Amino acid sequence: MTDQQLQTLVEELSLRYFKRAFVHRAYFNRRLKTTGGRYLLTSHDVEINEKMLTEHGEATLIGTIKHELCHYHLHLTGQGYRHRDQDFKQLLRQVGGLRYAPASTKNYRYTYSCQNCGQKYQRQRRIDINRFVCSRCHGKLRLLKKI
């Protein structure tokens, strides 16, 4: 999906679910890692994490867009647009948007386990097992798997 197709989708969803036009920009931001999308307060643009579509599918992408459109329309109408506001929670329930973005899959290269309690740790970077200990029982760690 291109940025232009995303723009068209956001405009259609805005009209269908919110009965208001979306007149700003919507685009993919490939640098977003831990969030599904972002509504920018100053420019009123909407950024969407590309992984919402590639890893989780179109239904998750639509739920994320609805979430960001809730921020957008509530902010422009002067109502509570933050996650903690009742206006936001109520509108999100009405349109069926996602409250939280699903966690993206990470490529863990190292798997460690505690020698005492068996707690597992997955890491992208190698850690010094002589320096770090188990967070649960303070036991020694050992490397199980390196990819």
pLDDT digits (tens, 9 = 90+) for 9-47: 999 999 999 999 999 999 999 999 889 999 999 999 999
107 confidence band (pLDDT: 50, 70, 90) = confident
CA dihedral 74, 80, 83, 85 (to 10 degrees): -140
Instruction: Give the pLDDT score at 60.
Output: 94
pLDDT in tens, 38-53: 999 999 999 999 999 9
Cα gap 79→73, rounded to integer Å: 9
Question: What per-residue confidence (pLDDT) applies to 104?
Answer: 74
Top-tier CATH class for 3-95: alpha beta
Question: For the chain, which residues make up each domain, given as ranges?
Answer: 3-95, 110-146
pLDDT of residue 122: 92
71 is in an annotated binding site: yes
- Please compute the mean of the pLDDT values over residues 122-138 and round it to a whole number: 94
User: Within the chain, how many helices (H) and strands (E) appear?
Assistant: 4, 6
Question: What is the set of active-site residues?
Answer: 68
Question: Is 80 exceeded by the pLDDT of residue 141?
Answer: yes
Q: Which amino acid is at 61?
A: L
- List, edge to edge, every strand of the sheet that includes 120-123: 120-123, 110-114, 141-146
H/E run at residue 105? none
pLDDT computed for residue 78 by the predictor: 96
Q: Is 73 annotated as a binding residue?
A: no
